[in-house]
Amino acid sequence: MSQEVLIVPKRETFGKAAIRDLKKSGMIPAVVYGLNEPPIAIAISPKAVARVLASDAGMNSVMFLQREGTDIKRHVIIKDLQRDPITSRLRHVDFMRVDMTHKVRVKVPVRLVGTSIGVKSMGGVLDFTHREIEIECLPSIIPGHIDVDVSNLNIGDSIRFEQIALVPNIVLIGDAHQTVCSVRGKAPEEEVAAAPAAAEPEVAKKGKKEEKK
């Protein structure tokens, strides 16, 4: 669990002009909600958020948010991000308050490990269908990712969510029969037969008269 402590000011002004001023100061807008408490608008440094995202737990890092000028400190996780569609820069962050004694539901990325036999020896293709899985557990044991070993997959084999080995006290949410990944044979390439070029009709000699019908 991340011990990151982010000190954040409360936002008192809103609107486009306020957001422009925030950006000039190197901050972006954010909101904190959850645990049946009113949402609080705050400002935060995008560099601090990027640092958390780059950690092993990434989006699911549990951290402290501390209100600037107070001793108010709460455990939170990042629930959602908004990025600029062109520059990919962070524009807004949603933080969700968490109680360390209560389970939360989060989506965790799936990481494929190893090289499939069907791919390595038989020329198959690995289809990675679902790249994240929703789980329920205490905030303190949220994994940064879930590893799935594909080494033994032959062509025609697949791995479903229910076949993933989860550590104790982590529960899968959703359809356990969904396929995480599978190996299929390569689709046969269409062989375009090189048909011989059709002979062009002989060009009538200049001046030759057309035969009358």
CATH of the domain at 30: 2.40.240.10
- As given in the structure block, the two tokens for residue 14 are 């809103």
- Structural domain range at position 60: 5-97
**Helices then strands, each counted (H, E), the chain:** 3, 13
Are 134 and 159 contained in the same domain? yes
pLDDT, one tens digit per residue, over 92-129 is 999 999 999 999 999 999 999 999 999 998 889 999 99
- Tell me which range, 8-12, 66-70, 202-206, is most confidently predicted by mean pLDDT: 66-70
Which ranges of the chain would DSSP assign to H, the alpha helix? 16-24, 46-53, 117-120
Residue 37 lies in a domain: yes
Residues 137 and 170 placed together within one structural domain of the fold: yes
pTM of the model: 0.74
User: Is 205 domain-assigned?
Assistant: no
Whichever domain contains 122, its CATH number is: 2.170.120.20
Q: Is the CB of residue 155 less than 8 Å from the CB of residue 124?
A: yes
Asked whether residue 92 falls in the same domain as residue 131, the answer is: no
Give me the pLDDT at residue 189, please: 53
Answer yes or no: is pLDDT of 207 > 60. Answer: no
Tell me how far apart the alpha carbons of residues 24 and 43 are, in angstroms, rounded to a whole number: 12
Please give the pLDDT value at position 31.
93
Q: Average of pLDDT values for 156-176?
A: 91
* Digit-coded pLDDT (tens) for 146-155: 999 999 999 9
Number of domains in the chain: 2
- 212 pLDDT higher than 90: no
- Token pair of 72 as six digits: 């108010």
Closest CA to 48 of 32, 76, 28: 28
Q: How far apart are CA 11 and CA 180, in angstroms?
A: 42
Reference 3, options 70, 56, 61; nearest CA is 61
Q: Which stretches of 74-161 are DSSP H helices?
A: 117-120
Tell me: do 109 and 93 sit in the same domain.
Answer: no
Indicate the residue among 50, 82, 97 that finishes a domain. 97
For residues 49-54, give the mean pLDDT.
90
pLDDT at 59: 87
